């Protein structure tokens, strides 16, 4: 990975020494660095100059820092603020480990016991941030760090929302929607999403950890997002027979299309995972309906057919009314 021209390995930025590049996106670069005051390793996120000149993106960057600095939980990456700085950048806790995405790429799927244990750690982090009025809105394996003991750190609050804060919107900033494989149905429809949207994303990740695949698919990101609006996923036990009926029921509750039917909180979700033997298994139509695959095209055909038939139906109603006079 090449460093931006202004920052080289060994260079100092205030009282931090740049040690190595870690990641780079269209908006910022992240480096591993050392705090020269105490030798502590940190991660530094430096926005690109183009981002600093865009008021909307710059506000989003500052929002991420403000949200992160207010959180303090062992399963949430800390963000440090308060230093005098020569330019805008974010200082974050350095987290050792692998991204959940790397774990899944190497192992494809995890045992139910391990997947549940990791999910419970994530739900603890979610319970904490939700109680502090924060919704992550972009939960995915790329934003979960796993240590050698399967402990987790929730990272990247780049598109998180804070209760009571003004809503930030961006023309052309498609990432604000979340990630196609993990985004909730209400976010697909353009709604802001709430804590239950995060729980939906956790349901997708748990399904993936257990089965080695995400529940919805398609030839493009748009098709993937639309698939969850009109189709049911392959039943988890069809994808992975080691999934118990009770665990399958938990997945269905997390993946309900209507957020009102999902778990009401991370705590409720965790409670079922901790007590699977007490989970009642519902008779779900999804166990059969998943085979009836529909497409957006078929929806459009039905829509326009209904429009075409509407005048005829109105004529029949008027005719019936006339005969009954």
| 85 vs 143: CA distance, rounded Å | 27
User: What residues contact residue 6 under an 8 Å CB cut-off, 6+ apart?
Assistant: none
Catalytic, out of 35, 138, 156, 272? 138
Q: Pick the closest to residue 66 from 33, 90, 99, 96 (CA basis).
A: 90
List the structure tokens of 290.
């998943």
3-state SS, 46-108, equals: EECHHHHCCHHHHHHHHHHHHHHHCCCCCCECCEECCCCCCCCCEEEECCCCEEHHHHHHHHC
Residue 5 Cα distances to 29, 48, 173, angstroms: 12, 11, 25
Buried b (16+ CB within 10 A) or exposed e, 207-226: bbbbbebbbbebeeeeebbb
Instruction: Round to whole Å and give the CA distance between 319 and 229.
Output: 38
Annotated active-site residue 277? The verdict is: no
Spatial distance between the Cα atoms of 130 and 136, rounded to a whole number of angstroms: 9
**Catalytic residues, which ones?**
138
């Amino acid at each position: 990975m090449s460093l931006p021209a202004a920052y080289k390995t060994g260079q100092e930025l205030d009282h931090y020494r740049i040690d190595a590049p870690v990641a780079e996106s269209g908006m910022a670069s992240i480096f591993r660095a050392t705090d020269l005051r105490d030798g502590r390793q940190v991660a530094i996120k430096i926005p690109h100059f183009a981002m600093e000149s865009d008021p909307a993106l710059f506000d989003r960057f500052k929002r991420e820092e403000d949200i992160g600095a207010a959180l303090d939980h062992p399963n949430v990456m800390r963000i440090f603020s308060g230093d005098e700085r020569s330019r805008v950048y974010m200082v974050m806790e350095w987290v050792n480990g692998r991204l959940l995405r790397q774990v899944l790429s190497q192992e494809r799927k995890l045992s139910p016991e391990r997947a549940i244990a990791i999910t419970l750690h994530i739900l603890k982090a979610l319970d904490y941030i939700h109680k502090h009025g924060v919704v992550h809105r972009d939960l995915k394996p790329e934003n979960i760090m796993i240590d050698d003991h399967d402990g987790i750190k929730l990272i990247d609050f780049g598109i998180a929302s804070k209760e009571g804060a003004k809503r930030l919107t961006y023309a052309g900033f498609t990432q604000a929607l979340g990630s196609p494989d993990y985004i909730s149905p209400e976010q697909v429809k353009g709604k802001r999403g709430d804590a239950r949207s995060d729980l939906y994303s956790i349901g997708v990740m748990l399904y993936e950890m257990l089965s080695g695949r995400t529940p919805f698919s398609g030839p493009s990101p748009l098709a993937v997002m639309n698939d969850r609006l009109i189709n049911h996923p392959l039943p988890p036990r069809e994808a992975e027979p080691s999934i118990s009926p009770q665990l399958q029921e938990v997945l269905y509750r997390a993946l309900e299309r209507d957020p009102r039917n999902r778990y009401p909180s991370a705590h409720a979700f965790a409670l079922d995972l901790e007590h699977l033997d007490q989970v009642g298994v519902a008779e779900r139509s999804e166990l059969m309906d998943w085979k009836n695959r529909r497409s957006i095209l078929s929806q459009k055909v039905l829509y326009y057919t209904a429009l075409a038939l509407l005048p005829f139906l109105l004529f029949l109603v008027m005719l019936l009314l006339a005969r009954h006079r």
